[in-house]
Amino acid sequence: MTHPGEQFYPEGVRWDDAIAQRTLPDLLSKAAADFGPRTALEFRDRPITYTELAAMAERAAAAFLRAGCGKNSSVALFLGNTPDHPVNFFGALKAGARIAHLSPLDGEIALTHKVSDSGSRVLVTSNLAALLPTALKFLARGLIDRLIVCEDDNWGKVGTPQAAIPSDPRIVTFKAFVEGATTPAQWPQVSVDDVALLQYTGGTTGLPKGAMLTHGNLTSAVSIYDAWGKPARAARGGVVERVICVLPLFHIYALTVVLLSALSRGNLISIHQRFDVEAVMRDIEVKRATYFPGVPTMWIAIAALPDLDTRDFSSLNAIGSGGAPLPVEIASFFERKVGKKLKSGWGMTETCSSGTGHPPVGPEKPGSIGLMLPGIELDVVSLENPAKVLPPGEVGEIRIKGPNVTKGYWNKPKESAESFSDGRFLTGDIGYVDTDGYFFLVDRKKDMIISGGFNVYPQMIEQAIYTIPGVHEVIVLGIADQYRGEAAKAFIKLKPDARPFSLDELRAQLTGKVGKHELPAAVEFVDELPRTPVGKLSRHELRQQQKPAQSTQPGGRS
């Protein structure tokens, strides 16, 4: 069998199932035609139907065209989780422009780079106090020519802190921007090969790179998920799902797995502006949400609820974790306590999120990221020679090929070329595949620690530390070590009322779970661990915080 994992695919699903491609405006138009009166979005208890969403997006598209934002132009979106995002996202795309996503949690250096690198002369933001002042700085410095400001109160007053919109001819409210815009005689021709999105990623060794994601890349990712989940949806009788969207829409995980996939199927998307565990639980227990995709930190927070045993998760048909490796202990704890399997798939920005998935039935393989999804080819290659494919069980770098994979990085031909080997994208993830076709992640290539000549993978140590009672969250970093060159240091956030333990106690509890060369050489207890904008624990940010301390304390022990 060419793809051994195919034997465990859901019944009726094949690896070579047809993967459809179309443009994103077509995706929304078809959804509006098929599901018109259904609720597409719910925000602050306000429903927005498919017909209404498509009409709002079309009106925005006409306004973008009138403003000169058509083919070969970039529009930056600096927005949080509100309906303003999909309206402007689909609107700019229908006008023929490409989108550049900006993260509201990025610093000014990264944001400035993304705006200038993407060539975005028009930026859409909100009058929220957390966003508008930063956007105004871009205008003052001449980075953009026009600022479109969405007014948060248009979706209902909830008391969110807002900033005053200055009087400036270059600034226009979204309401004024779309006023009087008329539908053109003909919309610009948009192709599946056109770049739809510049999704910035990386930046751990320099400034972020814009992955060029085409209309075809993004819609093929939706089609891949459709093929994979079709039997499960059929078994549920075509029920309209209520999907919790607490993941940020500017992130590829939420964009593909939630927004695009849910809209293409006629589901309801319940938009949350931020992750609040009790608000999510109300969506599940009271509003009877059926699908909740989250990141590990969200599941850790839910697992830590003191009354977890009495909470009602019965409405959920499916739950999932992505964006970062899910601790095995958290998955097993959740299954024991709640009785639902929490599986962690794998994907990345450059693959429009899709990569691997877990079949509903098949071998139980704790720690696995699952099987490669239909239409996607994965293999494992030597760290020294990316053209050398390794046999099952050997650890190397994972490569990927598929219709969902980026064609490269914006304005970076050299980095684009270096990211591919034999036409396959080099993911930077280290892992292996077993004889059944199940893939396992060991760590990120850039996070690997070389200790005494041995490769040490922080994620494997973190998985072991999560088995220790009292540990809430953990990040392991490599630190300078005079004897080994590098050694592992654990940064641990404890659960409430848990007591710290010594390095010797930590090493004793890990002995036998990890190799001797993997035992941490230092431990530090912290009140909080840094997170990325999507809520993942951030090893990179923690590493940046530790640099001054490490430069003065070579041993790194605490």
Q: Which tokens belong to 179?
A: 């006023």
pLDDT at 486: 82
At 391, is the secondary structure helix, strand, or coil?
A: coil
Q: Is the pLDDT of residue 547 over 80?
A: no
> For position 513, which CATH number holds?
3.30.300.30
Residue type for 126, please? S
Q: Taking the CA of residue 353 as centre, how many other CA atoms within 13 Å lie in the half-sphere pointing to its CB?
A: 28
Residue at which a domain ends, from 412, 444, 476: 444
pLDDT band (50, 70, 90) for residue 203: very low
Question: Nearest CA to 71 among 198, 210, 191?
Answer: 191
Compute the residue count for the chain.
558
pLDDT band (50, 70, 90) for residue 524: very high
- Residue 36 domain-assigned? no
Highest mean pLDDT: which of 311-315, 516-520, 540-544?
311-315
Residues 545 and 456 placed together within one structural domain of the fold: yes
pLDDT band (50, 70, 90) for residue 202: low
pLDDT at 327: 81
Q: Is the pLDDT of residue 557 over 50?
A: no
Residue the block writes with tokens 């979706």: 155
pLDDT at 553: 30
CB 61 within 8 A of CB 91: yes
Residues 222 and 321 placed together within one structural domain of the fold: yes
H or E segment to which residue 216 belongs: helix 215-235
Mean pLDDT is lowest, of 168-172, 232-236, 264-268, 381-385, for: 232-236
pLDDT for 421-453, tens place per residue?
A: 999 999 999 999 999 999 999 877 788 787 766
| Average pLDDT of the residues in 515-534 | 89
> For position 154, which CATH number holds?
3.40.50.980
Query: What string of DSSP letters covers 124-183?
Result: EEESBTTTHHHHHHHHHTTS-SEEEEE-GGGG------B-PPP--TTEEEHHHHHTT---
Residue at which a domain ends, from 174, 190, 206: 190
CB 308 within 8 A of CB 338: yes
Residues 296 and 238 placed together within one structural domain of the fold: yes
Residues 55 and 166 placed together within one structural domain of the fold: yes
Mean pLDDT is lowest, of 111-120, 484-493, 547-556, for: 547-556
pLDDT at 52: 98
Residue type for 158, please? V
- Phi and psi of 237, rounded to 5°? 70, 30
Residues 425 and 279 placed together within one structural domain of the fold: yes
> For position 243, which CATH number holds?
3.40.50.12780
Q: Range of 160's domain? A: 25-30+49-190
pLDDT at 358: 93
- Phi and psi of 442, rounded to 5°? -105, -45
Residues 172 and 251 placed together within one structural domain of the fold: no
**CA–CA separation, 93 vs 61, rounded Å?**
7
Residues 468 and 436 placed together within one structural domain of the fold: no
| Average pLDDT of the residues in 364-382 | 94
pLDDT for 271-296, tens place per residue?
A: 999 999 999 999 999 999 999 999 88
- Residue 35 domain-assigned? no
pTM for the whole structure? 0.84
- Residue 54 domain-assigned? yes
Residues 262 and 116 placed together within one structural domain of the fold: no
Q: Is the pLDDT of residue 173 over 80?
A: yes
Q: Is the pLDDT of residue 556 over 60?
A: no
- Residue 468 domain-assigned? yes
**CA–CA separation, 471 vs 296, rounded Å?**
14
**CA–CA separation, 266 vs 177, rounded Å?**
29
**Taken in order 115, 121, 122, 127, is the CA torsion positive or negative?**
positive
Q: Is the pLDDT of residue 212 over 90?
A: yes
Residues 328 and 405 placed together within one structural domain of the fold: yes
Residue at which a domain ends, from 126, 157, 190: 190
- Phi and psi of 165, rounded to 5°? -90, 115
pLDDT band (50, 70, 90) for residue 204: very low
Q: Is the pLDDT of residue 500 over 80?
A: yes
Q: Is the pLDDT of residue 505 over 70?
A: yes
List 489's β-bridge partners, or say none: 477, 522
- Residue 268 domain-assigned? yes
- 13 or 336: which carries more pLDDT confidence? 13
**CA–CA separation, 377 vs 362, rounded Å?**
20
Mean pLDDT is lowest, of 29-38, 106-115, 220-229, 241-250, for: 106-115
Q: Which tokens belong to 9?
A: 């695919």
Residues 389 and 472 placed together within one structural domain of the fold: no
Average predicted confidence (pLDDT) for the chain: 91
pLDDT for 56-101, tens place per residue?
A: 999 999 999 999 999 999 999 999 999 999 999 999 999 999 999 9
Counted domains in the chain: 3
pLDDT at 483: 65
Percentage of residues of the chain with pLDDT beyond 90: 73
Residues 409 and 499 placed together within one structural domain of the fold: no
Question: Nearest CA to 228 among 15, 28, 435?
Answer: 15
DSSP state of 105: T
- Residue 205 domain-assigned? no
pLDDT for 309-366, tens place per residue?
A: 899 999 999 898 887 778 888 888 888 888 888 888 899 999 999 999 999 888 989 8
pLDDT at 452: 66
pLDDT for 387-412, tens place per residue?
A: 999 999 999 999 999 999 999 999 99
Residues 455 and 426 placed together within one structural domain of the fold: no
